Structure 1
Amino acid sequence: MRRRTVPAVLIAGAILFTGACGLLGGDDKGDKTSNAGSESKVTPGASGGTPGTESGQPPEPAKGAAPQVTMTPEDGATGVDLADPLTFAIEGGKVSAVKVTNARGEQVDGTLSPDGKSWKPKVPFTPGGQYTVSTTATNADNQPTTISTRFTTQTLGKEVTASIFPDGGTVGVGQPVSVRFDRPITNKAEAEKAMKVTASPAVSGAWHWFGNTRVEWRPKDYWKAGTKVKVDLNLRGADLGGGAGSKQYKSFNFAIGSVARISTVDVASKTMTTTENGKVVRTTKVTTGESPKYDTWGGVMVVMEKYEKTRMNSATVGLGKEYDIADVPWAVRITTSGTFVHGNYWYDKANPPFGRANTSHGCVSMTPEDAKWFYDHADRGDVVKVVNSKERAVAPDNGYGAWNLSWSQWLAGSATKE
């Protein structure tokens, strides 16, 4: 019996057909719904393609997991420190952007660290402020994740407000920077660190405390005429001690005048010599405090304020009913306790005391004409120095008597000794 030979091509075709059925349909029990939903197709005449792709290109690799970010303070936190930075813990990426807004929707300026692990506000947060933070992190594939959190800062148990002089304008070469607080400061070192004085040209200087509510900054020597000064009171966020803090974060600018004016009162010779930039411009005959009852303070004083006319009553300075003059002319104050350079119109015209005798109750007085000249030329911060007095030097906190302390004494009154 002859055997029939099956052509090889038919066998090969059967194998290909079976293979094709296996790819397209599987067995009869296959999931026809799944196959119907597939967009993958075998295209006649196509060769070299990868199953499952229409273009024949390899499929894109799967994206990495989105980064996970946790911020401190946590969402909903309260009592957050005003100066603390925001910090981030992150897995699978890096913080790339931080946006902080206050309760009014205003964006808060700040800086993200190079490693993306912290963000610090340019200015400490406001006490009791509510803030919203939008933090964006990206992974190696630049896939972003953004989280939104909210927090509220601490409130101030004892709010401190500072006033400063000078807070602008132009003053003389002897004017210290004077800051007064409306509450006692117990953490003085932190207060000093939060206040900064810079000058152009640069100058060495330091803070000195007079009690717990007043602190002053002066250079080692008088200011140089024409100096520009900036004072930063960056008190917000500073721990001032005893639960005290401040909302203040402000800068002030003032200038030292172009003329270094120094007036020297010589009690012995009964004269006042005024120099401008080292050159004598006027010598005036004066009368000072009657000795020994009313000796004029010795030492360095600074012009504080001036009046065309002012009332002087002895009762206000503890001298009983010695005098009460309603219209003292051209009065220039040089101490808080009541020392003035002023005009005197009530003197004995037949026997003027100026340049001859010391007859005042402690002030430096002169004719109204001479007093007007001094009034017209004197600026706040100008120096008035009294020499050859039998009285001790004026206290450094009586007006602006800072210059009556040596530099070592001045530094001793600083909490930071800087």
Structure 2
Amino acid sequence: MLATGVTAMLLAGCNGGSDKAAGKSGSGSDGGGGGKPVPAATLSITPATGTKKVSPGDHVVVTAAHGTLSSVALTNAAGKEVKGTLSSDKTTWTSAEKLGYGKTYKVAATAANPDGKKVNAASSFSTVTPGNYTLPYIQNANGKTYGVGEPVMVHFDEPIPDKAAAEKSLKVTTSPSVEGSWHWISAQDVHWRPKTDAGKYWTPGTKVTVSADVYGVNMGKGLWGQEDRAASFTIGSSIVAIADNKSLHMKVYKDGKQIRDMPFSGGKGGYIQDKYGNNVSLWTPSGTMVVMDQEKRVHMTSSSWGIAKNNPQAYDVYVNWGTRLTGDGIYLHAAPWNVGLHGKQNDSHGCFNLSDQDAKWAYDNLRPGDVVIMSGTPDKVTVDRGYGDWNLSWDKWVQGSALK
């Protein structure tokens, strides 16, 4: 029986030392039998001795020819041994653990031919020392339930020079299985969504697991993955809210059935200039938005988007029951000061102004990942405006992959 364990030391594997086996092979050191001599075993080790800048994610492989492996030991400079696995025919040993950055390793191996004659080999190599590291942050909370519009989201704490290498390290597994694709939102952010027909999202009940196996991955220009990350979450029931700028009503549907009708006052329209000379929209944007997060009380100030305090459109207020829809500050929130305009006239700076009752209902009943669709305004939801992923057709979405 072969020995197992951290040292990956193996017993002499076969007929070594057996006169009967030697006779069967036709080898015969006494020259009898006239058979062919049994060739000596040979060993090959990858990486070869003297190799530098080896990726910690690469496997160390020891292979025997004309024989089987008797023992393999892979150790770091401190003498700690690295686990490995032996093939069923005992000819190949492969490391089963990732190596460390900036480390030196030694390999010592022994193989024997069918006559039991042994041969030894050794290798010494060193791994790469990165110029910089990057950590992936999976932005979907582990174990949480999200709405049907929730994208899979990974944020890197450094800009990624080689997006293809980074993307290859990312994996999404779903149950039931569904086709999907990554799309780079920026140099640091990449999202994944399933392939669906227009107006369709995740199937409720889908289980999603995302892994970022970045350790040992070269992402270009001296940047290497620092640590692997993983998370799993579930897609809950379908909640989709549909609003339009004509009726000024938002109708909320759960699994296709209407459960709420909320009059609102939206963006008053037009544009103003910020202190940098950029146009700032006062429209509520049209398109598909996804609930990002929620706050019971939100501090809203026009200075956060570059509007001077002396501008007639300036404001600095606290609002209740905020449900965030975009990264630039579009919310559903309570606005009791203009409740008489709800369902009749637009008067906000872009948010959906709701009554206290409706805003609290939205806060209590919507969750991150739920979908809010607005129509009828010239301002549009873009892919980088919050979780605007669903505003791209599938063909355009796939074009944002570095592996397309």
User: Normalised by the shorter chain, which TM-score bucket?
Assistant: 0.7 to 0.9
Q: Is the 1:174–1:382 contact (alpha carbons within 8 Å) kept by the matching residues of 2?
A: yes
Describe the shift of the 1:224–1:167 C-alpha distance in structure 2 as closer, same or farther (beyond 3 A). same
Aligned residue for 1:365? 353
Aligned residue for 2:289? 301
Deviations 1:240-262 (A, max 9, x none): 122221122232211112x1111
RMSD: 2.8
Matches within 5 A, 1:272-351: 272-293=250-271, 294-321=282-309, 322-347=313-338
Q: Is the 1:108–1:121 contact (alpha carbons within 8 Å) kept by the matching residues of 2?
A: yes
- The secondary structure found in structure 2 opposite 1:411 is helix
Using the alignment, how far apart are the partners of 1:408 and 1:379 within structure 2? 28
Q: Is the 1:85–1:119 contact (alpha carbons within 8 Å) kept by the matching residues of 2?
A: no
Letter of the 2:336 counterpart: Y
Aligned residue for 1:238? 217
Greater shift in the superposed pair: 399-408 or 205-214:
205-214
1:342 is displaced (CA, Å) by 0.4
TM-score by length of 2: 0.79
1:354 aligns with 2:342: yes
1:387 aligns with 2:375: yes
Greater shift in the superposed pair: 209-218 or 361-370:
209-218
1:410 aligns with 2:397: yes
Deviations 1:119-177 (A, max 9, x none): 44445323224545453423214566666665432121221222121041221111111
1:192 is displaced (CA, Å) by 1.4
Q: Count matched residues.
A: 353
1:206 is displaced (CA, Å) by 0.3
Structure ID, larger Rg: 1
1:407 is displaced (CA, Å) by 0.6
Using the alignment, how far apart are the partners of 1:395 and 1:96 within structure 2? 61
Aligned residue for 1:182? 157
Q: Is the 1:303–1:379 contact (alpha carbons within 8 Å) kept by the matching residues of 2?
A: yes
Corresponding residue to 1:396 among 383, 386, 390: 383
Q: Is the 1:311–1:324 contact (alpha carbons within 8 Å) kept by the matching residues of 2?
A: no
Describe the shift of the 1:172–1:89 C-alpha distance in structure 2 as closer, same or farther (beyond 3 A). closer
Using the alignment, how far apart are the partners of 2:262 and 2:221 within structure 1? 52
Q: Is the 1:304–1:333 contact (alpha carbons within 8 Å) kept by the matching residues of 2?
A: yes
Aligned residue for 1:138? 112
Deviations 1:180-238 (A, max 9, x none): 22222222222111111110011111011123221111112311111111111111232
Deviations 1:46-77 (A, max 9, x none): xxxxxxxxxxxxxxx76989855453335575
1:354 is displaced (CA, Å) by 0.7
Describe the shift of the 1:243–1:369 C-alpha distance in structure 2 as closer, same or farther (beyond 3 A). same
Letter of the 1:261 counterpart: I
Using the alignment, how far apart are the partners of 1:102 and 1:281 within structure 2? 63
Deviations 1:6-29 (A, max 9, x none): xxxxxxxxxxxxxxxxxxxxxxxx
5+ residue gaps in structure 1?
1-60
Matches within 5 A, 1:255-266: 255-257=234-236, 259-266=237-244
Q: Is the 1:201–1:227 contact (alpha carbons within 8 Å) kept by the matching residues of 2?
A: yes
- The secondary structure found in structure 2 opposite 1:231 is strand
Describe the shift of the 1:104–1:173 C-alpha distance in structure 2 as closer, same or farther (beyond 3 A). farther
Corresponding residue to 2:180 among 205, 210, 217: 205
Q: Is the 1:307–1:331 contact (alpha carbons within 8 Å) kept by the matching residues of 2?
A: yes
Corresponding residue to 1:223 among 199, 202, 209: 202
Using the alignment, how far apart are the partners of 1:313 and 1:337 within structure 2? 12
Describe the shift of the 1:86–1:282 C-alpha distance in structure 2 as closer, same or farther (beyond 3 A). same
Aligned residue for 1:269? 247
Matches within 5 A, 1:1-80: 67=41, 69-74=43-48, 78-80=52-54
Corresponding residue to 2:230 among 238, 251, 257: 251
Aligned residue for 1:50? none
Describe the shift of the 1:117–1:244 C-alpha distance in structure 2 as closer, same or farther (beyond 3 A). farther
Greater shift in the superposed pair: 133-142 or 327-336:
133-142
Letter of the 1:154 counterpart: V
Using the alignment, how far apart are the partners of 1:107 and 1:379 within structure 2? 48
Letter of the 1:215 counterpart: V
Deviations 1:90-114 (A, max 9, x none): 4652225545455677654444445
Q: Is the 1:86–1:118 contact (alpha carbons within 8 Å) kept by the matching residues of 2?
A: no
Using the alignment, how far apart are the partners of 1:190 and 1:412 within structure 2? 16
Deviations 1:289-343 (A, max 9, x none): 0123421111011111111111111111233333444430000111010100001
Using the alignment, how far apart are the partners of 2:206 and 2:346 within structure 1? 38
Using the alignment, how far apart are the partners of 1:368 and 1:122 within structure 2? 58
5+ residue gaps in structure 2?
1-27, 31-37, 272-281
- The secondary structure found in structure 2 opposite 1:371 is helix
Q: Is the 1:84–1:120 contact (alpha carbons within 8 Å) kept by the matching residues of 2?
A: no
Describe the shift of the 1:342–1:158 C-alpha distance in structure 2 as closer, same or farther (beyond 3 A). same
Aligned residue for 1:161? 135
